Amino acid sequence: MKTLNICAALFFFFLNLSCTNENTNKSNSIIKPNIIYILADDLGYGDLGCYGQQKIKTPELDKMAREGMQFTDHYAGNAVCAPSRNNLMTGMHPGHASIRGNGCKGGCSMPDEDITVAEYLKKVGYITGIIGKWGIGQHSTEGFPTNQGFDFFYGYDNQILAHNYWPEYLWRDNQKEYLDNKVNYFNSTAWHNGLGSVSKEKKEYSHDLFVREAKKFIQNHQDTSFFLYVPFTIPHNNGEAMDGKEQEVPDYGIYAERSWAPDTTGYAAMVTRMDRDIGEILDLIRQLDIDKNTLVIFDSDNGSMQEYSGITEFFNSNGTLRGAKRDLYEGGIRVPMIAWWPKTIESGTVTEHITASWDFLPTACEMAGLEIPENTDGISFLPLLTGEQQPSHEFLYWEYGSNGGQQAVRMGKWKGIRHHLADNPDAPLELYDLEVDPGELINLANQNVEIVQKIKNIMQEEHHLNEQYLLPVDTININT
């Protein structure tokens, strides 16, 4: 079992002592850091000002980056929603994860054997909550949030219903809480034959409700150690809207006078609305005087949406990166991440350290004083946050069975990717030097045969059979 290193242990001893002294007037002194993880949905690498965005205004997240740590080489768990969230919650990479695609109606269910970060943190007294889009276990399944370590749940269990920002109801723990919206349901073959919905009367905007509940959760538990997971639905579109306004937002805000297309304007308004609300959450944490004992992380579940209406190109949402959502090229999996923790993280830090979403579970465990589980693919980045020596990954591995079948590996500066495996299970590996070619334009496979073979070996070793999510090579092996 991995244990806290001496530096981290001493750091938390003095942090806990400091927090105890600062909170002598409180009935319960805070002795373990609070953790808030905010996740955007389909936000591209280049959609924030601090990552180069020129048209969309994100002053609060830009300020968060100036006051904290900005990651240049952080990766989502996968190129689409459900598997990426499963990786984040379980600390497993796509070759070992229980969910590896969006292939189930409304989102596949995590099995009971999956142990989430919330379950680990509950062992040492954390109050745990999720507010937003879960998408990896519907009600009455093992994967429902209250069956996966969360004390409190408010939001969508179904990832397809989460496309609609004015839903008929949201879940509050194990009960449906009906809203003042009127909704039409229909079957949408465009979304994996799932149950889609559109609203004809729009009064209660789900994102605004999530922000309200997140603030309430923080206020209610300010005197305890808590873990709050806030997976926002912004800026994901509603593919069922079919009215030319799939980017659903109550108003266009500061973009109302722009002559942009409706969905382009709506996209910018959604991102800026989310930015405003994150600023309000950080302000609340300061007002409650728990900022020095609270780590806040902002992240995205995958890269920007694939181009369909000019949004991604108009805003240059991928920056210089190739590909988008559903691709294992950089544009589909490299995402913005910001960590904020006053007096612990040095302000204005920009790090090129390579991290992935499956690193969060071991990081949270180490922060809570837990031994890091052996069955994790992640490496805690707590030393990086606290200014200590940070271990590095030998490699990161991804696989995605849809979109033609793909595998990818990041190994230092090298990125290897195989795609169109459904057409050719022995598809050649493309190799890119990300230090000089982050756009993955120059294939160097022929000049680096040994690197190519090493990456191929990693792909073979890290892919474990999951019969619900087969790669084309699995079908060949099973048949033979």
pTM of the complete model: 0.92
Q: Does residue 192 register a pLDDT over 90?
A: no
Percent of the chain with pLDDT over 70: 89
The two structure tokens encoding residue 380: 């805690």
The two structure tokens encoding residue 185: 């349901």
Q: Rounded to whole angstroms, what are the CA distances from 410 to 67, 266, 306, 362, 393?
A: 29, 34, 22, 20, 9
The whole-number pLDDT of residue 185 equals 82
Give me the mean pLDDT over the 159-170 stretch. Answer: 94
The whole-number pLDDT of residue 447 equals 97
30-39, 329-338, 384-393: the lowest-pLDDT one: 30-39
- Return the half-sphere exposure (C-beta side, CA atoms, 13 A cut-off) of residue 235: 29
DSSP summary character for residue 306: P
The whole-number pLDDT of residue 436 equals 97
Contact 303, 325 (CB under 8 A): yes
Q: Report the mean per-residue pLDDT for the chain.
A: 91
Q: Please give the domain boundaries of the chain with CATH numbers for all domains.
A: 6-393 (3.40.720.10), 397-479 (3.30.1120.10)
Q: Does residue 20 register a pLDDT over 80?
A: no
Interval 116-134: pLDDT, tens: 999 999 999 999 999 999 9
